[in-house]
Amino acid sequence: MPYAQVAGWGMAVPSRVVTNNDLVEMGLETSEEWIETRTGIRQRRLLAPGEATSDLAVTAAQRALEVANVHPADLDLIIVATCTPDHPVPATASLVQDRIGAGRAGATDLNAACSGFVYALSLAAGQIESARVRQVLVIGADAVSIYLDWQDRETCILFGDGAGALLLQSSEEPGILSTSLGSDGSGASLLMVSAGGSRFPTNGDALRNGDNHLVMDGRQIFRLAAQMMGKAAEKAIEASGLTTEDVNLLIPHQANGRIIEAAAKKLGLPPEKVFANLAEYGNTTAASIPIALCEAIEEGRVKPGDNIVLTSFGAGLSWGSAVIRWGLPLPVEVSSWRRWRRRLGGRWSAFRSSLRKRGRRVRSFMDRKYN
Ligand code: ACO
């Protein structure tokens, strides 16, 4: 049975930064200090006018393909985990497929809210393990800012927009070791946008009542998220045949610093084995885990052979966890590659195309360095 191995990664966030202080200045009844101490969030990125989820997804996808040096025409499948598609129809994944030029790939969206990326990863890994496909691009992309009521201080402070992507490849080496998924629809109303679907189409009444906004029972969600993120991770770790002592890094859904602490405590993991970047981006829904993984790689927190646990909780209610054995010998080589990139600054593109012209293909570079 082939394994599904991570071969590339990429992220994209909008350029518009909104700090806690900006929210105060917008007239929200809150304070910088309250938001930071109660959530751990200092700022978030929000879509600029005219920008949409697929714009972020396309950039993240292109970066993941570049890291893996895979041509988009070689992709078999694209899954976009999102609860904020560009349009109700068609799937955002099809828009991404067209824009990156993945002419041979199937494309579909998946909605499991904040757990969407782990769900997509699990389904993609299953496709590879059953040998139906060889290369799948898994993208988590969301712009929950479109659903926010900017007067609802309990909700609007939490979220940001962004996208992250992983390229999964068929491999003889593991890979995704295990996944565990769960759902409890009896808690649907705890976190919901009620209008905009077939039950309550968006009409004048819905807009007047604010039913197009995300509403949340923050305390219940907090309690359940802290509990279920830990439980889901325990289940996935057990299914992988590992124990928590074998875990090198936990990448939890970036909902609230206190939720992350509680989940880590449940697993008995010390803070140095937990990655958090929600201070910079807030909760980016399906994008939060792949964005955090990209930054963990960039910071040198991921080494070859590491066991990495992803765990998430979100609307549905839904939860999911995955255990990954990191297969690429990173980050040392990629860091030096990126150091070059930084050193070259604006000359990077010219350098890269001159490399390509001379036939020095990045693929052979990657093969020599990493295999
Ligand atoms: N600024 C100032 N005061 C506020 C704010 C704010 N932004 N928001 C709430 N308060 C007030 C409340 O009104 C309350 O006042 P009261 O005591 O006079 O009634 C007080 O602060 C305490 O409210 P709590 O709800 O107890 O505050 P808590 O510490 O639980 O924090 C929060 C609220 C941040 C929403 C928290 O419950 C939370 O993070 N919940 C999880 C929500 C979440 O992560 N949802 C994302 C989707 S699901 C997922 O991603 C896991």
Nearest atom in ligand 1 to 225's CA: 51
190 lines ligand 1 (CB under 6 A): no
Scored b (16 or more CB within 10 A) or e, 35-49 reads: bbebbbbbbbbbbee
Q: In terms of Cα–Cα distance, which of 160, 154, 156 is closest to 219?
A: 154
Q: Is 294 a catalytic residue?
A: no
Q: Is 114 a catalytic residue?
A: yes
Nearest atom in ligand 1 to 312's CA: 51
Q: 219 C-alpha vs ligand 1 centroid, how far in Å?
A: 7
What's the pLDDT at 1? 84
pTM value is: 0.88
pLDDT tens by residue, 218-239: 999 999 999 999 999 999 999 9
Nearest atom in ligand 1 to 258's CA: 39
Return the structure tokens found at 36.
Answer: 């930071």
Q: 193 C-alpha vs ligand 1 centroid, how far in Å?
A: 18
> How confident is residue 353, by pLDDT bands cut at 50, 70 and 90?
low
In whole angstroms, what is the distance from residue 177 CA to residue 179 CA? 7
What share of the chain in percent tops pLDDT 70? 88
Query: What are the chain's domains?
Result: 3-325 (3.40.47.10), 336-370 (no CATH)
pLDDT tens by residue, 241-294: 999 999 999 999 999 999 999 999 999 999 999 999 999 999 999 999 999 999
In whole angstroms, what is the distance from residue 306 CA to residue 93 CA? 30
What's the pLDDT at 71? 95
What's the pLDDT at 175? 94
- Choice among 20, 256, 277, 283 that is catalytic: 283
- The vertex-360 CA angle with 64 and 330, nearest 5°, equals 40
Give me the amino acid identity at 310: L
Residue 331 has pLDDT above 50, yes or no: no
What's the pLDDT at 370? 45
Give the range among 69-73, 214-218, 357-361 with minimum mean pLDDT: 357-361
Query: In the chain, how long is the greatest CA-to-CA distance?
Result: 62
Q: 214 C-alpha vs ligand 1 centroid, how far in Å?
A: 14
CB 145 within 8 A of CB 116: no
Pairing relation of β-strands 3-12 and 161-171? antiparallel
Output the residue whose Cα is nearest ligand 1's atom 32: 218
pLDDT tens by residue, 38-80: 999 999 999 999 999 999 999 999 999 999 999 999 999 999 9
Q: 37 C-alpha vs ligand 1 centroid, how far in Å?
A: 11
Q: Is 283 a catalytic residue?
A: yes
- Choice among 114, 256, 277, 294 that is catalytic: 114
Residue 345 has pLDDT above 90, yes or no: no
Choice from 30, 117, 154, 281 to test ligand 1 binding pocket (greatest atom count within 8 A of CB): 154
Locus of tokens 């890094």: 249
Round the average pLDDT of the chain to a whole number and report it: 91
114 lines ligand 1 (CB under 6 A): yes
Average pLDDT over residues 138-145: 98
Give the range among 9-23, 103-117, 149-163, 334-348 with minimum mean pLDDT: 334-348
157 lines ligand 1 (CB under 6 A): yes
Q: 18 C-alpha vs ligand 1 centroid, how far in Å?
A: 19
